[in-house]
C-alpha cells in the first residue's frame, strides 16, 4: 500500500482490507454486539485477540476509517472518537495524573482551552507558552513535565508553531508531543516528520470536509518509548513499548468515557476523506487569492494568513507545508467599518461557526466562539475585538472575491 500515493491509498484502502461481497466502501456495521459460536473464542477476544465485542470499543466500520487515517498520517495505529474534543479528552485524562505538568501553546482552539481548565481543576498543572518560539517551550519544562501540546496553524490567529524546534526539544527531554493537525490535515503536514508522539485530527473539519458528520481521531506515530513513562498501568504493559500509550487510551479513554464514533458518521467521514487532497488544494488556492485581494483593500486594516509574505511565520509555513497555507484567514476591517454590518452584506459566504467545510464561512470571533473566555484571555490569544474569522471553501474564486468586494463596497 505504502508504495502508492496519498489519494490512491485512501481510495483503495477499504477494498484491500477485508473485502465484504466486493464492496469498495466498508459497510456501515450498526450492530452493537458481536456474537461468537465458541465461548472460548469470545473469551480470547476479551483477553486481547483481535475481534469485536461491544461497539463502544469499535466496529468494523470505525476500524476501516482508523486504518485509512493511519495511512494518511504515516503512523502505526489510530483510534476514532465521536468528536475531536472526545479524542483530546480521552488522551489527556488517560495519560496525565494530578501533579503532572503539561506545556501547551497559548494559541489554541477555544474548547481545548476550556478542557485545560477542567484538567487544572483535576490537579494537572498547565503552562501556556508562545509556540512560535521553541525557546519558550524549552524554558517552561520542569521535572514533572510529561507532555507538550500544540496546534500546527492556530485557530483563529493563524500563528504557525515552530514544529521542528518543539519536536527537537521533546526528543531531547523524552516528552510526549501531541500535535493537533486539524487546520493542516495530513495532506499539508504529517506531524510524525517532526517527531510527534500523537497526532490529533478533528475529522469534523478537513478530513470529513462536508459539515455533515462529527468525529475525531488520534494517531500513534510509534516514535515514543513508553517503558519509562510513569502513568502506564501494569495491565497495559504488553507488546512493543511503542504502543503502550495508545493501548491505555483505547482501554481507558475510549472505553471508560465512551466517546465512540458512530458507524454512520465513520462512513460519511471515510467517503469525505477520498477527496481531501482535491478539496484542500482548491481551498488553499482560493484562500491565497482572497488573502491577497483583502490585504490591499482600503477598507481592510489587517489580514492574517500564513501565505502572505507579511505573516510573521510565512517562511516557516512555506517550508513546513510546502507552499500551501490552508483555509483560515483572520480579517480586521479598517477603523469605522462595522464588522457586523459587513458580515450581514455577504451573500455567498455563510455566517456560521465551523471550519474546513466545502462552503466559505465567516463569523465575528471575539463575539461568538471566544466570547465566554473574556477580554484578558482573548488578548493573550491575540484575538482582536473586530477580528473576523473566515474559513475558505471550494466555490469558484471569482464568486468569493466578488462577494467580499460587494460587501465591503456596501459598508
Ligand X SMILES: *Cc1c(COP(=O)(O)O)cnc(C)c1O
User: Residue 83 or residue 145: which is nearer to ligand X going by CB?
Assistant: 83
First to last CA, the chain: 54
Beta strands per DSSP E along 106-185: 125-129, 145-151, 176-180
* Entry field: residues in the chain: 411
Q: Measured from the CB of residue 22, what is the shortest distance to ligand X in angstroms?
A: 33
Interactions with ligand X, residue window 106-145 (CB under 6 A): 109, 111-112
H or E element at residue 400: helix 397-409
Q: Total residues at the site for ligand X (CB under 6 A)?
A: 17
Binding mask 338-377 for ligand X (x = CB under 6 A): -----------------x----------------------
Q: Rule CB under 6 A: is residue 180 a binding residue for ligand X?
A: yes
The CA distance from 33 to 144, in Å, is 41
Interactions with ligand X, residue window 48-77 (CB under 6 A): none
Judged by CB under 6 A, the residue of 155, 247, 295, 304 near ligand X is: 155
C-alpha triplet 128, 130, 136: angle, nearest 5°: 90
Q: What number of CA atoms fall less than 13 Å from residue 308's CA on the CB side? A: 23
Provide the sign of the torsion angle of the four alpha carbons 312, 318, 321, 326, taken in this order.
positive
Nearest to 131 by CA among 178, 171, 94: 178
Annotate 338-356 with DSSP letters as a single string. Answer: -HHHHHHH-SSSEE-S--S
Piece in contact with ligand X (CB under 6 A), picked from 79-87, 223-231, 309-317, 400-408? 79-87
Piece in contact with ligand X (CB under 6 A), picked from 96-104, 163-171, 179-187, 230-238? 179-187
User: Residue 257 or residue 401: which is nearer to ligand X going by CB?
Assistant: 257
User: Residue 132 or residue 204: which is nearer to ligand X going by CB?
Assistant: 204
Nearest to 180 by CA among 93, 99, 73: 73
User: Residue 84 or residue 272: which is nearer to ligand X going by CB?
Assistant: 84
Binding mask 82-101 for ligand X (x = CB under 6 A): -xxx----------------
166 and 137 in contact (C-beta within 8 Å)? yes
Piece in contact with ligand X (CB under 6 A), picked from 81-89, 245-253, 314-322, 403-411? 81-89
Judged by CB under 6 A, the residue of 62, 89, 150, 204 near ligand X is: 204
The backbone torsions φ and ψ at residue 391, rounded to the nearest 5 degrees and listed phi first, read -110, 110
Binding mask 2-21 for ligand X (x = CB under 6 A): --------------------
Binding mask 215-244 for ligand X (x = CB under 6 A): -x----------------------------
Residues near 189 by Cβ (< 8 Å), separated by ≥ 6?
152, 163, 181, 320, 321
Q: Measured from the CB of residue 220, what is the shortest distance to ligand X in angstroms?
A: 18
Write out the residues near ligand X by the rule CB under 6 A.
83-85, 109, 111-112, 151, 155, 180, 182-183, 202, 204-205, 214, 216, 355
Amino acid at each position: 500500500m505504502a508504495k502508492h500515493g496519498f489519494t490512491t491509498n485512501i481510495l483503495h484502502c477499504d477494498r484491500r482490507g477485508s473485502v465484504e461481497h466486493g464492496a469498495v466502501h466498508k459497510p456501515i456495521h450498526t450492530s452493537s454486539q458481536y456474537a461468537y459460536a465458541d465461548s472460548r473464542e469470545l473469551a480470547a477476544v476479551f483477553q486481547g485477540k483481535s475481534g469485536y465485542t461491544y461497539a463502544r470499543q469499535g466496529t468494523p466500520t470505525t476500524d476501516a476509517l482508523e486504518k485509512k487515517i493511519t495511512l494518511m498520517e504515516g503512523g502505526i495505529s489510530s483510534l476514532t472518537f465521536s468528536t475531536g474534543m472526545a479524542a483530546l479528552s480521552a488522551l489527556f485524562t488517560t495519560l496525565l495524573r494530578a501533579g503532572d505538568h503539561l506545556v501547551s501553546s497559548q494559541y489554541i482552539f477555544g474548547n481545548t482551552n476550556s478542557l485545560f481548565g477542567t484538567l487544572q481543576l483535576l490537579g494537572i498543572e498547565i503552562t501556556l507558552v508562545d509556540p512560535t518560539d521553541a525557546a519558550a517551550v524549552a524554558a517552561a519544562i520542569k521535572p514533572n513535565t510529561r507532555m507538550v501540546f500544540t496546534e500546527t496553524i492556530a485557530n483563529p490567529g493563524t500563528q504557525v508553531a515552530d514544529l521542528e524546534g518543539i519536536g527537537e526539544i521533546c526528543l531531547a527531554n523524552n516528552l510526549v508531543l501531541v500535535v493537533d493537525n486539524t487546520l493542516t490535515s495530513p495532506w499539508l503536514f504529517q506531524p510524525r516528520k517532526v517527531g510527534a508522539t500523537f497526532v490529533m485530527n478533528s475529522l469534523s473539519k478537513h478530513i470529513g470536509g462536508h459539515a455533515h458528520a462529527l468525529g475525531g481521531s488520534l494517531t500513534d506515530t510509534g516514535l515514543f518509548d513508553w517503558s519509562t513513562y510513569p502513568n502506564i498501568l501494569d495491565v497495559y504493559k504488553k507488546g512493543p513499548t511503542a504502543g503502550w500509550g495508545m493501548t491505555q487510551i483505547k482501554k481507558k479513554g475510549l472505553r471508560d468515557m465512551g466517546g465512540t464514533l458512530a458507524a454512520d458518521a465513520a462512513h460519511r467521514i471515510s467517503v469525505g476523506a477520498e477527496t481531501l487532497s482535491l478539496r484542500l488544494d482548491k481551498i488553499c488556492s482560493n484562500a491565497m487569492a482572497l488573502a491577497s485581494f483583502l490585504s490591499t483593500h482600503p477598507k481592510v486594516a489587517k489580514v492574517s494568513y500564513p501565505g502572505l509574505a507579511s505573516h510573521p511565520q510565512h517562511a516557516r509555513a512555506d517550508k513546513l507545508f510546502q507552499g500551501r497555507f490552508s483555509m483560515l484567514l483572520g480579517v480586521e476591517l479598517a477603523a469605522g467599518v462595522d464588522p457586523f454590518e459587513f458580515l450581514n452584506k455577504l451573500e455567498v459566504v455563510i455566517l456560521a461557526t465551523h471550519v474546513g467545510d466545502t462552503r466559505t464561512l465567516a463569523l465575528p470571533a471575539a463575539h461568538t466562539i471566544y466570547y465566554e473566555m473574556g477580554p484578558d484571555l482573548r488578548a493573550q490569544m491575540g484575538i482582536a475585538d473586530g477580528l473576523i474569522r473566515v474559513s475558505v471553501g471550494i466555490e469558484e474564486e471569482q464568486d468569493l472575491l466578488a462577494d467580499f468586494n460587494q460587501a465591503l463596497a456596501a459598508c
